[in-house]
Amino acid sequence: MRMKIDDENCTGHGRCAKYAPNVFRLDDDGYNVDRGSEIEVPAGEEKTALLGMKSCPERAITIVEE
């Protein structure tokens, strides 16, 4: 599964990394380090990734349709 993190709409709530620390990482200011690009969700982390995605108040994370 691939996910995309929107650049402008990520405003550093940090919820994604709280609920899915093996999928999303934060930079020193607390914003998603991968904002503006796509990531590959590691195998077995789909459920936590979806929880992190759902917890983002900005809806900055979306699933990339293959």
Partner 1 sequence: MNEDAPSAEVFEAPSHDEMIARFGRDLVNDFDLDDPAFNDKFDETLNYMVRKCPVVHSRVGRGYYLINTQDDVRRAAQDWRTFSSAKGYMPNRPEGLPYLMPEESDPPIHTKWRHVLNPHLSPRTVAGYEQPVRDDVNALIDKFIDRAECEFISEFGALLPGWAFFKNILGLPIDDLAMLVNGVEEGTFAPDPEVRGKYFGEVFAYLETHLAWRKTQPSRGDLIDTILAGVTYEGGTESPWAHKVSILVDLTFGGIATTTFVMASAIHHLAMHPDQRQLLLDDPSLIENAIEEYARFFPPVVALGRTCTRDVEVSGTTIPEGEFVMLTYAAASRDPRHMDEPEKIDVRREGIPHSTFGVGPHRCIGSNLARVELTATLEEWLKRIPEFSVKPGTEPTYVTGFLRSMRSLELVW
Q: Which residues of 38-61 are buried (b: 16+ CB within 10 A; e: fewer)?
A: ebebeeebeebbbebbeebebebb
List, in sequence order, every residue forming a beta bridge with 2; answer none if it has no partner: 40, 64
**Amino acid in the structure at residue 4:** K
Site for ligand SF4 (CB under 6 A): how many residues? 15
Binding mask 13-52 for ligand SF4 (x = CB under 6 A): xxxx-------x------xx--------------------
d(CA 9, CA 43): 26
In the complex, least distance from residue 6 CB atom to ligand SF4, rounded to whole angstroms: 8
Binding mask 20-59 for partner 1 (x = CB under 8 A): ------x-xxx-------------------xx--xxxxxx
In the complex, least distance from residue 59 CB atom to ligand SF4, rounded to whole angstroms: 8
